[in-house]
Structure 1
Amino acid sequence: MKIATLDNPGWTVSIDLEETELEGRDYIRQEINRAPQDWIRAWTAEKTFHAACGPGNLTEALTLLRTWATTVAPPES
């Protein structure tokens, strides 16, 4: 897991999902834009959960991850 700062300002989060129950699940890209410093983008790519957010949105971004991770995935068709 990596949490780093952005220079605009904000946060970036990368969490490796390889060899976890979440490895094969997709998180459909979400973009929430409320104000110049109140925003979140979250998605999965290459077996990694990614989020970028404004300076006050880190908890909200991690909550999106937790909610997705603890929700049962629909059965595959």
Structure 2
Amino acid sequence: MNVLQWLEVWYSRQCDGDWEHSQVVSITTLDNPGWSVDIFLGGTELEDKGFELLNIDRSDVDWVYGKVSDNIFQGRGGVNNLEEILQIFQQWAMLNED
């Protein structure tokens, strides 16, 4: 299963009639250019789980930043780093879900 398929399964498991009505998963672009991924964790098994700040700076176009703040996973990255951002979330989620 690739990371996008995994995210679809993870998202569907969170849907309980209420959770999915929040701003829960947002994938948008940045103007530098790059990607922004926000995933609301409130009401999931990942709520209040620790996430170590991640800051990888390979070049001006190849970089990844990640943190959890206010129960939102926030991933940012360069124009070719969307899959890597999702993989970071996937790995962290799989380590922290019961």
Q: Same fold (TM over 0.5)?
A: yes
Residue number in structure 2 paired with 1:23: 47
When you count strand as a share of all residues, which structure comes out higher?
A: 1
* AA in 1 matched with 2:82: L
Identity, in percent, stands at 37
Query: Structure 1 residue 28: deviation in Å?
Result: 1.1
Query: Structure 1 residue 72: deviation in Å?
Result: 4.0
User: TM-score of the superposition, structure 2-length normalised?
Assistant: 0.72
* AA in 2 matched with 1:53: G
* AA in 2 matched with 1:64: I
Residue 72 to residue 7, structure 1, CA distance change in 2 (3 Å) = closer
Q: Post-superposition, which runs of at least 4 consecutive aligned residues in structure 1 deviate over 3 A? A: none
CA RMSD across the alignment = 1.0
Residue 65 to residue 7, structure 1, CA distance change in 2 (3 Å) = same
Return the alpha-carbon distance in structure 1 between the equivalents of residues 96 and 75 of structure 2: 21
Match of 1:37 among 52, 61, 66: 61
Structure 2 residues without counterparts, runs of 5 or longer:
1-24
When you count helix as a share of all residues, which structure comes out higher?
A: 2
* AA in 2 matched with 1:58: L
* AA in 1 matched with 2:38: S
| Equivalent residues of 2:41, 2:71 under 8 A apart | yes
